[in-house]
Amino acid sequence: MVLQRWRPRFGSLARWDPFTDILDIQQEMNRLFDSFFGRTSALSEGVWAPLVDIYETKEHVVVKAEIPGMKLDDIDITIVGDTLTLKGARKRETEVKEENYYRVERSYGAFQRAIPLPSVVDTNKVKATYKDGILEVKLSKKGEVKTKEIKIEVG
């Protein structure tokens, strides 16, 4: 007698292979860990993107980017049209003289992050500060922006 498992997604009976299920579970666990930690480990230099928080106050739209361990000369901020772009490069430290690393998890290399801005932002009034590895960009809102109510006519 052959043990068969019913799988409705295949529409017919299929031979049950417990090792296939174990591999499926392992792939699902890898996917869950990758999504939980946000990004995979950077084993070599490459392209990465800093994590950002974007929020709005009464007077500003604020963008905070997490880019620790960088110098101000290595960070570029530009605004073209309605897009704020953060660019830069984090270089690997060369002070370590030992060759055997146990773990390399920090990201190195070039990064670029383009953030669309709302139309209420005055791109001529921008202030950027960098403290404790957090880049904060404050964009002032235009003073003339008001909500206009439109009445609907019955026709």
More confident residue, 38 or 117: 117
The backbone torsions φ and ψ at residue 112, rounded to the nearest 5 degrees and listed phi first, read -150, 135
Task: Tell me the pLDDT tens digit for each residue of 76-105.
Answer: 999 998 899 999 988 776 656 666 766 667
Beta 134-141 vs 60-66: how paired, if at all? antiparallel
- Give this prediction's pTM: 0.59
Q: Residues 144, 85: contact at Cβ < 8 Å? A: no
Lowest mean pLDDT, pick from 53-62, 90-99, 113-122: 90-99
**Residue-averaged pLDDT of the chain:** 78
Examine the pLDDT at 20 and tell me if it is beyond 80.
no
Examine the pLDDT at 138 and tell me if it is beyond 90.
yes
Centroid of chain to Cα 8? 37
Question: What is the domain partition of the chain in residue ranges?
Answer: 4-37, 51-141
CA distances from 52 to 27, 62, 64, 102 (A): 28, 10, 5, 29
- Straight-line distance from the first to the last Cα atom of the chain, in angstroms, rounded to the nearest whole number: 75
* Fold exhibited by the domain 51-141: Immunoglobulin-like (2.60.40)
